[in-house]
Amino acid sequence: MQKLLQKIITRQAHIGIIGLGYVGLPLVLRFAEEGFTVTGFDIDPNKVRNIKAGKSYIKHIPTKKIKEFIKNNRVQATDNFKKLQTLDAIIICVPTPLNDMREPDLQYVENTGRLISENLQKGQLISLESTTYPGTTDEILLPLFEKNSFKVGKDFFLVFSPEREDPGNKNFTTQTIPKVVGGVTPACLKVGQKLYEQIIDRVVCVSSTRSAELTKLLENIYRCVNIALVNELKMLTDRMGINIWEVIEASATKPFGFSPFYPGPGLGGHCIPIDPFYLSWKARAYDFTTKFIELAGEVNTAIPYFVERKVMEALNSQKKSLKGSRILVLGIAYKKDIDDDRESPALKLIEILKDRGALIQYNDPFIPKLKKSRKYNFNLTSVKLTKSLLQKADLVLITTDHSTYDYNWITQHARLIVDTRNAIKNKKKYAGKIFSA
């Protein structure tokens, strides 16, 4: 342990990051910034090829920074997992989605664990950052690594440290967001803490990997439940003729006891729509039902269908049916000003509207093409936003309120608008033309 600690403190430790996405790539660069040599691993050859060429494929990560570290040999990228044998610390940042039954799909964690097990060397630290249910680290990864007759806390070190990336948030960086760490043993925790202290301003230690795993779930469940609350109130206030956005802003003036959450077209992102159900699934093993999580899931799942009804109401006001109507969707990213469309509610809305016979086009300045995913394969590309395009569309559906959009210009030229993000503030001026959803 002392040898590894010394290598970490002196920046001589060779770090490996498995998974070069929105979590893994910022970590690669953060370690490189502090003088570590880092190897990034990914099964996607395009990501490996881009990193080797010094190119960024994530909007908020500058190509210049990657190119700089590639040039001075601080960063490498590979899909050869035999190179895991040369590392001192290995950090796992792979996806943890749900399957079609809304149950945890840990194939990426398990496959990565097996690759590490096949190449595990004495003295290595392994950290899992992928969001998952309490027990994953010690129930799935630990047995894989102990197959080598290695003893945890002595021959290798195992921790869980949940990722806390927030793409598009300029107020926080990988360095400034506090890092929670839990170890399988006290020795594991000590090594994990020391590693993250080299790149993170504040490291928060907890008593076990299970506590660390549940910490991340609680953070996301808190958001999921509160978003469900305002989404439910949005549907109620729609019937009551009350502006929910005005109500939230007024409530937010209270300096204590209230944190504002805002409604939208549904849940999006790689965390909030997925992570709470990891705990719901695990809770069933303890004969326990997580009622708040299940109820929040029901409310948030229903929101895209509420938006569909508002689209139909808007079209009906112009004596048009949904079937055959030309609908222009503005914004595919799950939140404003980012290029991430994972679990975006816009994708679910496109599916619903296409199934009802609508003719769909979309514009998103950050997402030029809709890639095939586990759920969707629309084969659509972003169309150029022009005056003619707006005028030809029977309805414009605002699903992501990107700052680059000129909403006054859009409102002037669109025939009909359904706004799910309160992007257009002066709705009274355009009464009968703009519908909130």
Question: 3: buried, middle or exposed (CB in 10 Å: 19+, 13-18, 0-12)?
Answer: exposed
Note the residue count of the chain: 437
Strand order in the sheet with 326-330: 359-363, 326-330, 395-398, 417-419, 434-436
b/e per residue 283-309 (b: at least 16 CB within 10 A): beeeeeebeebeebbebbeebbebbbe
Q: Which of 188, 205, 224, 271 is catalytic?
A: 271
Residue 185: phi and psi, rounded to 5, are -130, 165
Q: Please write down the long-range contacts of 153-156, taking CB distance under 8 Å and 24 or more positions apart.
A: 153/184, 153/185, 153/186, 153/187, 153/188, 154/1, 154/187, 155/122, 155/123, 156/120, 156/122, 156/123, 156/124, 156/125, 156/126
Q: Hey, what amino acid is at 41?
A: F
Residue 412: phi and psi, rounded to 5, are -65, -35
Residues 160, 143 contacting (CB under 8 angstroms) = no
271 is catalytic: yes
Q: How many angstroms separate the CA atoms of 192 and 184, rounded?
A: 10
Q: How many angstroms separate the CA atoms of 28 and 16, rounded?
A: 8
Catalytic residue ranges: 271
